[in-house]
Chains A and B, each alone.
Chain A
Amino acid sequence: MPPKYVIHHTTAKPRFRPVGKLGIVDWREDCSSCHNCVKRGCVYRLYRDEADTLRDEVGYLDYIYQCKGCLNCVQNCTKNILTRVVNPEYRRLGDSHYTPDLILSTWYQAETGKIPVSGSGYGGPFSGPGFDSMWTDMSEIVRPTRDGIHGREYISTSVDIGRKLPHLAFAEGRLKVDPPPLMETPLPVIFDQIPRHWNRGEVVTAVTTAAAEIGTLTVLCEADFRETEASIRGHGIPLLATPGASATQPGGSAPLVMVPDGPDVMAAQAVLKADHPARIVAIRIPAAPSVAGRVADLVREGADVIHLAFDSHGRERDSAQPRHMRDVLRDTHTTLVRQGNRDEVTLIASGGIAAAEHVAKAIICGADLVAIDVPLMLALECRLCGECERGQLCPIALEEIDAEFGVRRIVNLMSAWHSQLLEMLGAMGIREVRRLRGETGRCMFFEDLERDTFGRLFGKRKS
Chain B
Amino acid sequence: MSTMPSGFQRAEPQTPGAFLSRPEYAEVSREVRPAPPRYRNEIGKYSVHRASHCASCGRCVETCRFGVYVRPDGYLHVMRPFDYRCIGFGCKDTGSYCIDACPNGALKLSVNPAAETMGDHRWTPDLLMSTWAMAETGRPPGKHLECEVGGSGGGFDRLRFRFPDSPPPGLRREDISTRLPLNRRGDSRPGITIDVPWYGGGMSFGSTNIRALLGKARVAKAFNGFTCTGEGGYPERFIPYKDHVITQVATGLFGVREETIQRAPIVEFKYAQGAKPGLGGHLLGDKNTPSVAAMRETVQGVSLFSPFPFHSVYSVEDHKKHLDWIAHVNPRALLSAKVSTPVDVDMVAVGIYYAGGHIVHLDGSYGGTGAAPNVAKKNIAMPIEYAIGRVHQFLADEGIRDQVTVIASGGVRTPSDVAKAIALGADGCVIGTAELVALGCIRCTACESGRGCARGIATTDDELLEMVRIDWATQRLVNLYTAWQRMLVDLLYRLGLDSVSALRGRTDLLTHLDYENEP
B433 part of interface (Cβ distance < 8 Å): yes
A397 part of interface (Cβ distance < 8 Å): no
**Residues on A with beta carbons closer than 8 Å to the beta carbon of B188:** none
Residues A118 and B374 in contact, CB atoms below 8 Å apart:
yes
Residues B442 and A71 in contact, CB atoms below 8 Å apart:
yes
Query: B113, B120, B308, B386: which contacts A449 (Cβ < 8 A)?
Result: B386
Contacts A75-B39, A75-B40 given; indicate if A140 touches B382 (C-beta within 8 A).
no
Q: What's the least CB distance linking B337 to chain A, in Å?
A: 8
A residues 54-96 touching B (CB-CB < 8 Å): 68-72, 74-78, 80, 83-86
B373 part of interface (Cβ distance < 8 Å): yes
**Residues on B with beta carbons closer than 8 Å to the beta carbon of A249:** none
Q: How far is the CA of A145 from the CA of B282 in the complex (A)?
A: 18
B464 part of interface (Cβ distance < 8 Å): yes
Residues B379 and A357 in contact, CB atoms below 8 Å apart:
yes
A residues 205-223 touching B (CB-CB < 8 Å): none
Residues B379 and A136 in contact, CB atoms below 8 Å apart:
yes
Residues A126 and B152 in contact, CB atoms below 8 Å apart:
yes
Q: How far is the CA of A241 from the CA of B153 in the complex (A)?
A: 46
**Residues on B with beta carbons closer than 8 Å to the beta carbon of A145:** 278, 308-309
B344 part of interface (Cβ distance < 8 Å): yes
**Residues on A with beta carbons closer than 8 Å to the beta carbon of B514:** 454, 461-462
Q: How far is the CA of A442 from the CA of B342 in the complex (A)?
A: 9
Residues A120 and B443 in contact, CB atoms below 8 Å apart:
yes
Residues A135 and B380 in contact, CB atoms below 8 Å apart:
yes
**Residues on B with beta carbons closer than 8 Å to the beta carbon of A72:** 2, 39, 454-455
Contacts A453-B390, A462-B515 given; indicate if A69 touches B117 (C-beta within 8 A).
yes
Query: B41, B278, B450, B512: which contacts A426 (Cβ < 8 A)?
Result: B278
Q: Of the 9-residue stretches A146-154, A316-324, A334-342, A386-394, which lies at the interface with chain B?
A: A146-154
Q: How far is the CA of A456 from the CA of B153 in the complex (A)?
A: 19
A138 part of interface (Cβ distance < 8 Å): yes
Q: How far is the CA of A457 from the CA of B447 in the complex (A)?
A: 39
Q: What's the least CB distance linking A456 to chain B, in Å?
A: 8
Q: What's the least CB distance linking A56 to chain B, in Å?
A: 24
Residues A122 and B515 in contact, CB atoms below 8 Å apart:
no
How many residue pairs bridge A and B at CB < 8 Å? 286
Residues A44 and B308 in contact, CB atoms below 8 Å apart:
no
Residues B342 and A118 in contact, CB atoms below 8 Å apart:
no
Contacts A120-B436, A125-B154 given; indicate if A138 touches B316 (C-beta within 8 A).
no
Residues A76 and B39 in contact, CB atoms below 8 Å apart:
yes
**Residues on B with beta carbons closer than 8 Å to the beta carbon of A355:** 375
Q: Using CB atoms, name the residue of chain A closest to B445.
A: A118
Query: A126, A138, A357: which contacts B375 (Cβ < 8 A)?
Result: A357
Residues B515 and A460 in contact, CB atoms below 8 Å apart:
yes
Q: What's the least CB distance linking B268 to chain A, in Å?
A: 14
B462 part of interface (Cβ distance < 8 Å): no
A7 part of interface (Cβ distance < 8 Å): no
Q: Of the 9-residue stretches B18-26, B64-72, B269-277, B487-495, which lies at the interface with chain A?
A: B269-277
Q: How far is the CA of A70 from the CA of B347 in the complex (A)?
A: 42
**Residues on B with beta carbons closer than 8 Å to the beta carbon of A117:** 282, 284, 371-374, 448
Q: Using CB atoms, name the residue of chain B closest to A425.
A: B278
A185 part of interface (Cβ distance < 8 Å): no
B residues 119-152 touching A (CB-CB < 8 Å): 119-123, 152
Residues B153 and A84 in contact, CB atoms below 8 Å apart:
no
Residues B153 and A428 in contact, CB atoms below 8 Å apart:
no
**Residues on B with beta carbons closer than 8 Å to the beta carbon of A136:** 379-381
Contacts A126-B383, A140-B272, A150-B307 given; indicate if A444 touches B454 (C-beta within 8 A).
no
Closest 10 CB pairs of A and B: A427-B278, A126-B154, A119-B447, A123-B120, A138-B278, A70-B454, A458-B515, A75-B39, A118-B445, A122-B377
14 more contacts with CB within 8 A, not counting A150-B305, A459-B518, are: A68-B454, A70-B454, A70-B455, A72-B455, A78-B40, A80-B41, A119-B369, A119-B445, A121-B275, A121-B369, A122-B365, A139-B278, A147-B307, A457-B507
Chain A residues in contact with chain B, CB under 8 A?
Answer: 22, 41, 43-44, 68-72, 74-78, 80, 83-86, 105, 115-127, 135-145, 147-148, 150-151, 355-357, 360-361, 420, 423-424, 426-428, 441-442, 444, 449, 452-462
Chain B residues in contact with chain A, CB under 8 A?
Answer: 1-3, 39-43, 80, 112-114, 117-123, 152-155, 157-158, 271-272, 274-275, 277-280, 282, 284, 305, 307-309, 313-316, 319, 339-340, 342-345, 347-348, 351, 365-383, 385-386, 389-390, 410-411, 433, 436, 441-448, 450-451, 453-455, 458, 464, 507, 510-512, 514-519
List 24 A–B pairs whose Cβ atoms lie within 8 Å, in order of A's numbering: A43-B454, A44-B450, A71-B39, A71-B442, A74-B43, A76-B1, A76-B41, A85-B117, A86-B117, A120-B443, A121-B377, A123-B123, A125-B152, A127-B154, A136-B381, A142-B315, A142-B351, A148-B279, A150-B305, A423-B376, A424-B375, A453-B386, A458-B516, A461-B515
